[in-house]
Amino acid sequence: MVIIRRYSMVLIAALVLFSLYLASEYHYLLFHYLAEIFSITVGFSIFIVAWNSRRFLDNNYFLFIGIAYLFISGLDILHTLTYPGMNIIAGSGTNLAAQLWLCARYVEAGAFLIAPFLLGKRLNPYITFLSYILVISLLAGTIFYWGVFPDCFIEGTGLTSFKINSEYAICLILAGSMVILIQRRRHFDSGVLKLLLAAMAITIASELFFTIYVSAYGVPNLIGHFLKIISFYLMYKAIVETGLVAPYNILFRDLKQSEDQYRDLYDEAPNAFFSVGIDGRIERVNRSATELLGFSVSELIGRPVLDLYADTTSGKTKAQDIFNRFRSGQEVHGEELEMRKSDGTPVWIDLSVRPILDANRTVVLSQSIAVDITTRKQAEERIQQQKELLENTLESLAYPFYVIDASDYTIEVANSAARWNELMAGSKCYMMTHGISQPCSGPEHPCPLEDVIVSRRPVIVEHKHYDSQDNETNIEVYGHPIFDKEGNVTQMIEYCLDITERRKIDQMKDDFIGLVSHELRSPLTVITGALNTVLTEGEFLTQEAAKQLLNDAALEAETLSHILGNLVELSRAHADRLFLYAQEVDIANTIQNTIGRISYDPELYQIEVDLPNKPSTVYADRIRLERILRNLLENAVKYSPEGGRIQVSAKPDEENLIISVSDQGIGISATEQTKLFASFQRIEDNGLEEVGGLGLGLLVCRRLVEAHGGRIWVESEPGKGSTFSFTIPL
């Protein structure tokens, strides 16, 4: 192709030159005219190309030469018009034509000489232009105005020595320019350099031919003009090459490179790229898109993009909305959507869509970028689940739980058990827990946060809290430090246990121990006193007195044993180890036996027993039955300080034997009656002083009656007396 083109160019050139030759054969003036017009046309073209491509010409050499050719061609026009035979301008003839010719050649050679020195320098095209105008005007003035330009041709003698020497001088200038050009060749593409050197060499050759012609119509003149045309053409080639072809090549090369880069970027990008048409079908995808969705390129191209989204609000519904937005020309950024892979598994993407517009600013395509955020989404979901789990765990705790900012006491997290008043997370811990405006302090109310910051360990402090009704509660506050990477305490986990009940029980235990010691001490004092008296002073005592003392000791020992017995029964009942040893028990016998064991003043109390004929026996644990009766009888005595009648009766109903003990003592109010059979219940302000007791007797009775399958109750009126009754199943 290149060869054909080159040969056809050579052929055309040869044809042009041959036609010119034919023209010269026909009429030399015509030839001259055509040849000059041809080179003038090329000269103007050189200027036009150089001028218009001056932005691409990265060296000023060509712009300077290009502008020169405008003026050279101008001079050549004058030369053509004054050529012998043209008869257009007055004074035309070989001499004037040759003078103008010489001017043109001097300008040409001068331009070639100066141009290399402008390489790498700034050149103002307008100043250059003005400089040329000045030079040309001066030259034209020497010929047309002042007439001082030396003669070049004298009719009859031919070329003057000035003309011939000038041509040699021009040749020398050109040769010098070639040398300078070769020295500065690094500024030129090698092809362009060759063209320039060839143009100059041919100009030199052309000049040499012009030194030898005798007639303006002779053969040397003809060859000289041919060579001039060739040199102009080569110059033109050099300028076009530099000003147009090379820049375009560079432009296209850059364009090609950036297109290749874009394609590589598109295809190999780690994120999925989709180009979706206005009809919603995929037009182009990259490799990451196929990997993201598990479809091949051919499966994706042409497919409606909405098909790829999950059938959910965060899938298809959202995608449809984004598609509508893109169609109306909106850009979309950072939207999270759920897609489906080819195997149906979900994949989450972060989607950005940019509409691509055509020249009429109509949306024609969307360029979408999808970043796979499935792992992040799953992690977020897991974190959310864990957060919910943690929140639920905290909420399920029955005791208050907080996370407190160590720097300013602010509550960051609080469960609902902690939010007992209106203050919510974000308020200070001391406000929330105590409703005070300063952090807790002092040994009575130490601040757990301060303790944690100082000790850097978990701490436990005890606080008193007051609720909205001012009820006091004892709270055990647990503080646990949370550290940052540097080991500073940033937060404290705090939870509070209500230990009010524990404190109450502790108090009850203490009271009970005191009570028991007191209850045991009185009979023990009597026993040790009596025994000591008998032992130390026995010889001084009558037998009667000694016996009485020993009797007292035995009775108190019995009381002691009864108290301890009650305690033992109770602890058995608590431990669920209250086992009965039931047998036929004679009722009358058991009651009499029990009455015999209690201590009372027979002068104050009359104890009456009222029994039925039948049944005379009952199936029960005799020892436990005696204990029940003894507790009730002792109470009847204890709480009837004035004495009175105490009646023990038994009567059967359909299923049970009902045994009652009634007295005429102080009685019990209705409200107190409800509490009597619970642990440690004693009526403190019953008006009696120094009536000992542990508050356990009735509880023991209830446990033992219930162990027999019966029940126990009281009927009483304050000041009138009480009747305690219990049943034993028959």
Q: Is residue 440 within the footprint of ligand ADP (CB under 6 A)?
A: no
Q: Is residue 290 within the footprint of ligand ADP (CB under 6 A)?
A: no
* Binding span for ligand ADP by CB under 6 A among 53-61, 391-399, 574-582, 628-636: 628-636
Q: Is residue 60 within the footprint of ligand ADP (CB under 6 A)?
A: no
* Binding span for ligand ADP by CB under 6 A among 240-248, 360-368, 687-695, 703-711: 687-695
Angle between helices 190-211 and 161-183 (to 10 degrees): 170
Q: Across the beta sheet with 472-483, what order do the strands follow? A: 411-414, 401-405, 489-498, 472-483, 459-466
Please, what is the minimum distance in Å from the beta carbon of residue 560 to ligand ADP?
14
Question: For ligand ADP, which is the closer residue by CB, 425 or 516?
Answer: 516
Q: Is residue 635 within the footprint of ligand ADP (CB under 6 A)?
A: yes
CA distance 436 to 430: 6
Question: For ligand ADP, which is the closer residue by CB, 394 or 598?
Answer: 598
Please, what is the minimum distance in Å from the beta carbon of residue 504 to ligand ADP?
19
Q: Which among 109, 114, 112, 116 is positioned nearest to 185, based on CA atoms? A: 116
Q: Is residue 628 within the footprint of ligand ADP (CB under 6 A)?
A: no
Helix (H, G, I), strand (E, B) or coil at 32: helix
Helix (H, G, I), strand (E, B) or coil at 208: helix
> Are 368 and 352 spatial neighbours (Cβ–Cβ below 8 Å)?
yes
Q: Which residue in the shown chain puts its C-beta closest to ligand ADP? A: 693
Question: For ligand ADP, which is the closer residue by CB, 649 or 681?
Answer: 681
Q: Which of 696, 707, 712, 728 binds ligand ADP (CB under 6 A)?
A: 696
Q: Is residue 643 within the footprint of ligand ADP (CB under 6 A)?
A: no
What phi and psi values does residue 91 have, to the nearest 5 degrees?
85, 5
Q: Which of 433, 665, 704, 708 binds ligand ADP (CB under 6 A)?
A: 665
Question: For ligand ADP, which is the closer residue by CB, 656 or 664?
Answer: 664
Question: For ligand ADP, which is the closer residue by CB, 445 or 682?
Answer: 682
Q: Is residue 607 within the footprint of ligand ADP (CB under 6 A)?
A: no
Q: Is residue 697 within the footprint of ligand ADP (CB under 6 A)?
A: yes
> Are 67 and 50 spatial neighbours (Cβ–Cβ below 8 Å)?
yes
Q: Is residue 515 within the footprint of ligand ADP (CB under 6 A)?
A: no
Alpha helices in 294-417 (DSSP H): 297-300, 318-327, 374-396
Q: Is residue 649 within the footprint of ligand ADP (CB under 6 A)?
A: no
> Are 36 and 101 spatial neighbours (Cβ–Cβ below 8 Å)?
no
CA geometry: angle 504, 508, 514, nearest 5 deg: 150
Question: For ligand ADP, which is the closer residue by CB, 194 or 675?
Answer: 675
First to last CA, the chain: 134
Q: What one-character DSSP code corresponds to residue 410?
A: B
Please, what is the minimum distance in Å from the beta carbon of residue 566 to ligand ADP?
9
Strand 472-483, strand 459-466: pairing? antiparallel
CA geometry: angle 631, 634, 637, nearest 5 deg: 150
Q: Is residue 94 within the footprint of ligand ADP (CB under 6 A)?
A: no
In the chain, the amino acid numbered 654 is E
CA geometry: angle 563, 703, 577, nearest 5 deg: 85
* Binding span for ligand ADP by CB under 6 A among 86-94, 274-282, 300-308, 631-639: 631-639
Q: Is residue 222 within the footprint of ligand ADP (CB under 6 A)?
A: no
Q: Is residue 636 within the footprint of ligand ADP (CB under 6 A)?
A: yes
Please, what is the minimum distance in Å from the beta carbon of residue 656 to ligand ADP?
22
Q: Which of 695, 706, 713, 715 binds ligand ADP (CB under 6 A)?
A: 695
Question: For ligand ADP, which is the closer residue by CB, 426 or 692?
Answer: 692
Q: Identify the H or E element spanning 403.
A: strand 401-405
* Binding span for ligand ADP by CB under 6 A among 82-90, 271-279, 387-395, 663-671: 663-671
Q: Which of 693, 706, 713, 715 binds ligand ADP (CB under 6 A)?
A: 693
Q: Is residue 637 within the footprint of ligand ADP (CB under 6 A)?
A: no
Residues 383-412 that bind ligand ADP (CB under 6 A): none
Please, what is the minimum distance in Å from the beta carbon of residue 384 to ligand ADP?
59
Q: Across the beta sheet with 272-277, what order do the strands follow? A: 282-285, 272-277, 363-372, 346-357, 332-340
Q: Is residue 676 within the footprint of ligand ADP (CB under 6 A)?
A: yes
- Residue 600 tokens, joined: 């009372």
Q: Is residue 722 within the footprint of ligand ADP (CB under 6 A)?
A: yes
SS3 content of the chain, % helix, strand, coil (to 5): 55, 20, 25
Tell me the CA distances in angstroms from 567 to 243, 571, 680, one per residue in order.
122, 6, 12
- Using CB atoms within 10 A of its CB, is residue 367 exposed (0-12), middle (13-18) or buried (19+)? middle
Please, what is the minimum distance in Å from the beta carbon of residue 507 to ligand ADP?
18
Q: Which of 44, 209, 639, 726 binds ligand ADP (CB under 6 A)?
A: 639
- Which string of DSSP letters, residue by residue, matches 139-152? HHIIIIIS--SPP-
Angle between helices 543-574 and 622-638 (to 10 degrees): 110
Question: For ligand ADP, which is the closer residue by CB, 163 or 562?
Answer: 562
> Are 130 and 73 spatial neighbours (Cβ–Cβ below 8 Å)?
no
Q: Identify the H or E element spanning 724.
A: strand 721-729
> Are 409 and 430 spatial neighbours (Cβ–Cβ below 8 Å)?
yes
Please, what is the minimum distance in Å from the beta carbon of residue 639 to ligand ADP?
3
CA distance 17 to 28: 14
Q: Is residue 668 within the footprint of ligand ADP (CB under 6 A)?
A: yes
- Residue 48 tokens, joined: 């036009």
Q: Which of 683, 705, 707, 712 binds ligand ADP (CB under 6 A)?
A: 683
CA distance 248 to 148: 48
Q: Is residue 167 within the footprint of ligand ADP (CB under 6 A)?
A: no
Question: For ligand ADP, which is the closer residue by CB, 205 or 573?
Answer: 573
Q: Is residue 326 within the footprint of ligand ADP (CB under 6 A)?
A: no
Number of amino acids touching ligand ADP (CB under 6 A): 22
Tell me the CA distances in angstroms from 428 to 402, 407, 462, 469, one per residue in order.
11, 11, 19, 22
Question: For ligand ADP, which is the closer residue by CB, 29 or 524?
Answer: 524
* Binding span for ligand ADP by CB under 6 A among 342-350, 376-384, 579-587, 690-698: 690-698
Please, what is the minimum distance in Å from the beta carbon of residue 666 to ligand ADP?
5
Q: Is residue 203 within the footprint of ligand ADP (CB under 6 A)?
A: no
* Binding span for ligand ADP by CB under 6 A among 213-221, 257-265, 422-430, 676-684: 676-684
Question: For ligand ADP, which is the closer residue by CB, 98 or 714?
Answer: 714
Strand 411-414, strand 401-405: pairing? antiparallel
Please, what is the minimum distance in Å from the beta carbon of residue 497 to ligand ADP?
33
Q: Which of 578, 682, 706, 713 binds ligand ADP (CB under 6 A)?
A: 682
Q: Is residue 523 within the footprint of ligand ADP (CB under 6 A)?
A: no
Strand 282-285, strand 489-498: pairing? unpaired
- Using CB atoms within 10 A of its CB, is residue 608 exposed (0-12), middle (13-18) or buried (19+)? exposed
Binding site for ligand ADP (CB under 6 A): 631, 635-636, 639, 663, 665-668, 676, 681-683, 686, 693-699, 722
